[in-house]
Amino acid sequence: MGRLLTASIVTLGLLVGMIASLILAILMTMDAISLPFTIAATIVISVLIWLLSPWLLDLSLSWINGMKFLSDQELETRHPHVHRMLHEVAREFAFTPARVGIIADRNPTAFTYGRGRGNARIVLTEGIFEFLDEDETRAVVAHELGHIVHRDFIVMTIAGCLVQILYQIYVHTTKRNRGSSDKKNSLAGVGFAALVFYWIGQYLLLYLSRTREYMADAFAASRTSPGHLASALVKVAYGIAKVEDSDSTAQLLRSTRHMGLIDVKNAHSVGLMASTGEGPDGPDGPCDRYGKPVHKPTPIPAEAMLFDGYNPWAWFAELNSTHPLTGKRILALGEMAKAAGKPFQMDIAGAARRAGVDKGELWPHFLKEAAIYFAPYLVALLTVLAGYWYLALATGAATVIATLFLRYPMGEPKPTTVMALMSDPRASPVIGRPVRLEGTAIGRADAGSFVGEDLVMRDASGFTTLDFRSMFGVIGDLLSGWLRVKNHIGETGRATGWFRRGMLGHVILSRLETKAGVLSAVPYFWQVLLSLAAIAGTAVFVLAGGAELAREVPWDVLAKP
C-alpha cells in the first residue's frame, strides 16, 4: 500500500512540476498577463465539473439506465451483507454511508462516483448479485469503498485539471508568439515542451488511474479476502462475456468503462476463458438458498494469466487503459494473500515457476518484436535525416514488405487449443504463430451486427476470436460479413491462421473450413498492395526528375520566418 501511495504522490508531483516549470519559463520570456486568468478559469471549470458531475450522473443513470437508489432499510432487507460492509467502513472512517443504486442489467458491473467521502454513490447491477456469491459481492463493494476512502474522486479531478492546464499553456504560448526573434524562439520552445508534457500527462493520468485501482484492490483485500476479490474479477468478466448485450447494456458498459470494476475489453478475454465447461444456469439449473441461479464458470488455469503478469507486451497492452490487466491484479492479490497467510487458488507466481518463465528471457524477444514493429518508421525517419526525404515513403514501404514474413510466418500451422495459446507467456502481438484449431463457430464477435465479419470459435478448451480481413478492404469485410460469414455460424470445422496476443487473444484468419464451405482471407494483401504502390509512385517521381528538383529547393531559406 505504501508503494502505491508513493506512486500516486510522485505522479501528481510530476504533473505539478511540469506545470510550474512551464509557467516560470513563460514568465521569464514574456509578460503573460492572461495566463493566470486562463489557469484560474481551468481550475474553476474543473471544480464546477467535480461539484456537479454526481448530480448529472444521477440524472443520466436514472433516465437512461433506470437506476434506482435503495433506502438504508431496503438495502438491509435485500442485501444485508452489502449493508454491513458499508456501515462498517463508514463508522471506521467517520463518513456518511454511501448511497447504493441498483440497475436492472444482467451484465455484472459496479462503480462509484461522488464529490468525496460523505457524498459517494455505489452503483451495482443486478448481474453482480446473479453471478457473484455473498463473499465476492462484499469484496466488490469493499473495492468501491476503497475508492471512496482514498478520495479518488478528488485525486483524479486534480490530476485531470493539471493535464488540462498543460494544454492551456501550449495554446497560450502559440497564440502569444510575437515580438523579437529571440522571444519567438523561446516561446516556441516552451510551447513545444508544453505539448510534449501534455502528451506525457495523458499517459500519467491513465497510470494514476491504474494505481488507484491497485490501491482499491488492496483495501478490499484487507477488508475481506484477496481470494474473494480475485474470483469476483473472473466472474465479472465471465458474466460480461456471457450476457448478450442490448443497446442499453452495451451503452452502460462503454460509458462506465473508466469507472467499472474491470476493463470491458480485457473482461471479454478473461470471460471467454472462464465460460468453458460452465455449469448449467437459468430456471433449469441449480439455485442457491435464495432461489438465485448458480453460475459455475470454469476455474481459469493460472497459466492463462502468465502473459498479463510477465510478458513485457502486457505493459503496452494496458498503456491506454484506466485499469490494470486482470492477470496483473490477480498476481498482486496473490502476493497479498501470501503475505497475510490466506488461501489463494489462482497462484500465477507458482505457475510461472512451474513453466520456467524468466522475465530476463522474455525481454530479448520483446526487443526483437518491437524492432520489427517499428522498423518501417525508423527506416523512413533515417531516410529523411540522411537528406533523401522524397525516398522515405518508399523505404518505409519496402521495410513493410521485408518484415511481412516475420509477422506472418509461412510455416505449417500446428494443431493446438485455445487454452494452450492463451497460456503461452511468450505470445506476441507482432509475430503471428501459425496455428490450426478444431471447433465450432458459435457466432459473430460483434453479436449486435448483421455485417460483422469476425467470428467466435469454441473448442474443447475455450473461446477465441477469428479475425477475418478481406483482401478487398472494408467493403470486402462488410460484404463477407453480410453474405458469407453467417453461413458458418453454428458449424463445426477447422480454422487456420496466425495467433496474436495483446489485451485480447485472437487468430488472424487464413482459412475456415466447415460444412458451409470455405472462408479464406489474405490478411496482408492490402499492406503489400499499398507498399508496392508507394514504391512505384516514388520510382515514377524519381525517374521524372523529381529528385533533382527537390534537391534544388532552398529549404533553409524557406524555413526562415
**What's the pLDDT score for residue 559?**
46
DSSP string, 339-386: HHT---S--HHHHHHHHT--HHHHHHHHHHHHHHHHHHHHHHHHHHHT
| pLDDT, average across residues 482-493 | 92
Tell me the average pLDDT across 24-36.
56
Helix (H, G, I), strand (E, B) or coil at 22: helix
Range 521-532 burial, b when 16+ CB lie within 10 A, else e: bebbebbeeebe
Pick the more confident residue, 499 or 165: 499
pLDDT, one tens digit per residue, over 519-551 is: 999 999 989 999 999 999 999 888 877 666 666
Strands 492-501 and 433-444, bridge-based pairing: antiparallel
What is the total residue count of the chain?
561
Label residue 429 by pLDDT band (50, 70, 90): very high
Given a cut of 50, whether residue 281 has pLDDT beyond it is no
pLDDT tens-place string over residues 462-484: 888 999 998 888 888 888 888 89
pLDDT for 557 equals: 43
Residue 355 has pLDDT above 50, yes or no: yes
- Residue 497: beta bridge partners? 435, 509
- Rg of the chain in Å (alpha carbons): 27
Average pLDDT of 376-397? 92
Q: Higher-confidence residue: 182 or 390?
A: 390
pLDDT bucket at 284, cuts 50 / 70 / 90: very low
Give the cell for residue 508: 488472424
| DSSP-derived secondary structure letter, 426 | T
Tens-place pLDDT, residues 154-165: 888 888 888 878
Percentage of the chain exceeding pLDDT 90: 41
List all residues 6 or more positions away from 22 whose beta carbon is below 8 Å from its beta carbon. Answer: 166, 169, 190, 193, 194, 197
Asked if residue 392 has pLDDT above 60, the reply is: yes
H or E element at residue 99: strand 99-103
Task: Categorize the per-residue pLDDT at 503 as very low, low, confident or very high, splitting at 50, 70 and 90.
Answer: confident
Global confidence as pTM? 0.81
- Give the largest CA-CA distance in the chain: 85
| Residue 318 predicted with pLDDT over 90 | no
What mean pLDDT comes out for the span 154-180? 74
- DSSP 3-state of 407: helix
Give the span between the Cα atoms of 95 and 87, in whole angstroms: 9
User: For 70-110, how does the pLDDT look when each residue is reduced to its tens digit (9 = 90+)?
Assistant: 999 999 999 999 999 999 999 999 999 999 999 998 889 99
Stronger pLDDT, 257 or 528, i.e. the higher one: 528
The pLDDT tens digits of the residues spanning 325-335 come to: 988 999 999 99
Helix (H, G, I), strand (E, B) or coil at 242: helix
User: Among this protein's residues, is 318 annotated catalytic?
Assistant: no
- Residue of 264 and 277 predicted with greater confidence: 264
Across the strands, what pairs with 99? 121
Residue 293: the pLDDT is 56
pLDDT at 290: 46
Q: Which is catalytic among the residues 130, 144, 369, 453?
A: 144
Question: Which pLDDT belongs to residue 272?
Answer: 61
Q: What's the pLDDT score for residue 11?
A: 57
Number of C-beta neighbours around residue 180 at 10 A: 8
- CA–CA gap between residue 490 and residue 474 (Å, rounded): 25
Q: Is the dihedral of CA 168, 170, 171, 173 positive or negative?
A: positive
Q: Provide DSSP, 170-238.
A: HHHHHHT--SSHHHHHHHHHHHHHHHHHHHHHHHHHHHHHHHHHHHHHHHHHHHS-HHHHHHHHHHHHH
Q: What is the mean pLDDT of residues 263-289?
A: 56
pLDDT of residue 561: 46
pLDDT score, position 120: 92
Please report the sign of the dihedral spanned by the C-alpha atoms of residue 78, residue 82, residue 86, residue 89. positive
**Which of the residue ranges 19-28, 58-67, 489-498 has the most confident prediction, judged by mean pLDDT?**
489-498
| Cβ neighbour number for residue 240 with a 10 Å cutoff | 27
Backbone angles phi, psi at 315, to 5 degrees: -60, -40
C-alpha cell read off for 256: 462506465
How would residue 300 be classed by pLDDT, with cut points 50, 70 and 90?
confident
Structure confidence at residue 543 (pLDDT): 83
Contact 500, 491 (CB under 8 A): no
Q: Find the mean pLDDT for residues 53-65.
A: 85
Average pLDDT, the chain: 82
Average confidence (pLDDT) over 40-53: 76
Higher model confidence: residue 294 or residue 341? Answer: 341
Would the pLDDT of 309 be above 60? Answer: yes
Question: Residue 517: pLDDT band by 50, 70, 90 thresholds?
Answer: very high
d(Cα 462, Cα 533) in Å, to the nearest integer? 41
Asked if residues 250 and 276 have their Cβ atoms less than 8 Å apart, the reply is: no
What is the distance between the alpha carbons of residues 485 and 492, in angstroms, rounded to a whole number? 13
Distance of CA 485 to CAs 117, 440, 536, Å? Answer: 51, 13, 35
For 113, counting Cβ atoms within 10 Å of its Cβ (0-12 exposed, 13-18 middle, 19+ buried), the class is: buried
| pLDDT for the residue 39 | 73
| Beta partners for residue 113, in sequence order | 121
**What is 492-559 written as a DSSP string?**
EEEEEEEEEESSSEEEEEEEEEETTEEEE--TTHHHHHHHHHHHHHHHHHHHTTHHHHHHHS-HHHHT
pLDDT at position 34 is 61
Cell digits of residue 248: 442499453
The string of pLDDT tens digits covering residues 215-250 is 999 999 999 999 999 999 988 887 777 776 666 666
Q: Specify the amino acid at residue 147.
A: H
Q: What DSSP letter does each residue of 138-177 carry, written as one string?
A: HHHHHHHHHHHHTTHHHHHHHHHHHHHHHHHHHHHHHHT-
pLDDT score recorded for residue 554: 55
**Does 175 score more than 70 pLDDT?**
no
Q: What is the pLDDT of residue 271?
A: 62
Higher pLDDT, 269 or 390: 390
